[in-house]
Structure 1
Amino acid sequence: MVGALPMDAFEVAVLFAIPGFLGLIVLEFAWSKLKGPDTWQHQADAVSSISSGLTYLVLRTLGFGVLVISYDWVAERFTVGEPVVAGAWLYALVFVWKDFTSYWVHRWAHANSFLWAMHLIHHSSEEFNLPVALRQNALNWFSYGGLMLLPLALLGVPTEVVAVVLPVQFFLQFWYHTQHVGKLGPLEYVLVTPSQHRVHHAINPIYIDKNFGQIFCWDRLFGTFQEELPEEPPAYGITTPVRHYNPLMIELNYMGRLLRDALTTKRWRDRLAVFLSRTGWRPEDARMRWPDTKLDYRDPAQKFRRAQPLWLIVWAWLQFAVLLLTAAYTLANLERLSGPVETGFLLVVLAGVVANSQQLMLRPSLLAELLRVGLISAIAVSEALSFTHWGPWLLPLQLALCLSSLAISWRLRSPVTQASPEAGSLGISPGRGV
């Protein structure tokens, strides 16, 4: 969806949005601890959620994914007539059109197995708090949302209008990922609210595949609305949890399951149907060999947990803060950084996210640690890449972080640390609501 933007426009918008996101997250955390209910009991899950947003930002900046068509490319070549004058009315109309089409794109993402593989990560958390809003699909295998904007390009809507509307519409979806706001009276009939979106993230049978709206409540018009019921508290996640904190592992989980089924089944028609069918459909022979295992959503004891010591949680937040600073510094200096420098910085962040999340799993990745050290060393010693690219503080901070993280990963590899009763399965998830 946001793939229709010029490459730097979204990254610039994110720089302005990050302080607001962090401020609201801190506010929700404080409210949760002081007033209750405590929706921040699973700290590792929150780190995973925010790290997912960082992974999304890094891979998007690196240009990962297949973009079906670019908005500005169509607007420059195929506009019918003269470009439309960008007034306030135009921004409003484009916003409504974007939100209307996003309802359908979102609905399709739940209906088709291949599209669900990209969207699953947003539903993978078994918690529901503001960090969950940042769980975004970094591995955007097929970015087709821009197709829904082609009518605007053909009618001459300027690219700069779309470049403003898309991030605004995207960021406005952040606030309603919370359990601390009840129903909002008459607004429930017009806008998407926290109550409605809690239903959307729930795996209770009555709630599954409901409330696809993003800003306006299109669900009331198209028969997919479900009210939050006091007698049916939402249980969050997917019906068979991925059980991992690593955003990349979560994203690869369902796609791996599709590939596994395609290789397992004997019929060529079924191999294609695995990707084109409704979410959850599986060939019978693949289902027999790899049976689905679903958990009871009513049993809190079945929720995924790892028994991390407090010091590891504190370390995870500290490490994330440094990674976020590195990413923000890179985005703020895109124009003056050369391609190799920009790529190097972003890969350092990506390797750091993997290392951090694997430590929370108590299964540290020495490969990610060594890759990060190698990237930083290569940047530091290269004559073409001056220390000034890092600023006076970022290089020593990153070096200290990497060496400390390497030592922690080595410690976590000890047999005592590895023997955790909360290890859980890393098996492949059959998805949500199937």
Structure 2
Amino acid sequence: MEPLLEQLRQTLAWHEHAPALQRAAFARFALSWDKLLASVPELQNIEDLVRVGLGYETSDGRVRLSEPVRKALLSGNILGQKLAEPDLLTHARFEQAWTQLDGATTPEQLHPSKVIPWLEKMHHRAHAGTHTREQLEHLDLPAPEMYWDLGRALSREQERFEDAALVYRRCWTKFQHDDYAHHYYAWNLDRAAREPDEVEKHYALAIEQRPDNVWWHARLCTFLIHRARFRDAEEAFRRALEHLDPSEVEVQEDARFAHSLHRWLIEAWLNMGEIDRANEVMSLVPRDIIASSNVLRALSARVADAMEATQLGESVYPQAIPPEERWTQPAFLPEEDDGHELETWRPGRVRRVGEADIELVYAEPDEKAESRELQGVELSLHEWNEMARGRAPQSDAFVILAEYSQGVRRIFHWPAKSIEVIGSGPDENLELLRYVHQWLGTSATSSP
């Protein structure tokens, strides 16, 4: 089934009516064709495709896309992606459609047959972006999940972080022991660069309400790191390990534990330039666990690269090259060049490209790390062109400087090699200067 769905995803991605179909997929339940068309007018041109090809009609004449198709259409949306204006408008139209069907202003007025219309009305209202600050301040919903739905929409899709925090505050005011509401109240306040003391307090309350949630601990630790409260962060991490994995069993048996905790601290330490601290946390993850995970392997390579750059003073290897492939002769380096045998080679980087000369740094590939020293060389543009065979120099390009017999010198560039992209998490793309921007009155908050 999954291969067929993947083919469907690829086909639909290039379909000329893909935007209309994706908006039709916002509907989670069947609607009459006239209401579906009123919500997504562009469907008028592809009625048969929706009613027969990708969807179906229920026994009472309502229409919906089949669930696998709906999921395939929505799978291209990045989690947390800000919705475009046409998407918000579509949700608003769906809200109107369901409002006409439920006929109630409060859940107490609902007839059992009207529960789904009322829930769908509230769902689309949450994602339509129509709530004013005054409405949010008086929000009263019957279940925590309804606050969560609205809070996520305001935060992820509309980047209204302060309003999202207000929704979560309304939630934990009504449902005091809701750890999710406490946590995301803090998270959205932090994204808005507001009230850091309140942020810390409610991160801690979320942990108090649900101490076994690894994610909650990770968020508190990374918040403290980004506030440059390094000792407090280390203490919070120590407490997290004592509670979550006192016998060091979880970290040795399941990569998901390190994914949810260690990974985010390492990322935060690296972002703050605290290489030794990042390496210390990385050392707590067993090598076999790192080897079992593409994400952890990539992160381990980043730490090793940062450690090496710190020891040398600068980088001479691309970050994508893992430690075990460094300081040994690269496979792409030819043993012979125009009849000349390879004698020596050195990894390096283009430090500067001037109008008439190029500056490079390189290191001798000694087996002992402590024996490697950074050195520099300046080449004229003519020398570069001869050694690189006409390839234009670029700043920060990583190269191999090779010497062949009879004094022949060559420059080889590393083949393109991607490094594993680490997915979204507690602090992905976190704007580290957001509190400064808030103080200055400028906006720099990024999408969660």
TM-score band w.r.t. shorter chain: under 0.3
The TM-score, its normalising length taken from structure 1, stands at 0.23
Higher relative contact order (CA 8 A, sep 6+): 1
Higher-Rg member (1/2):
2
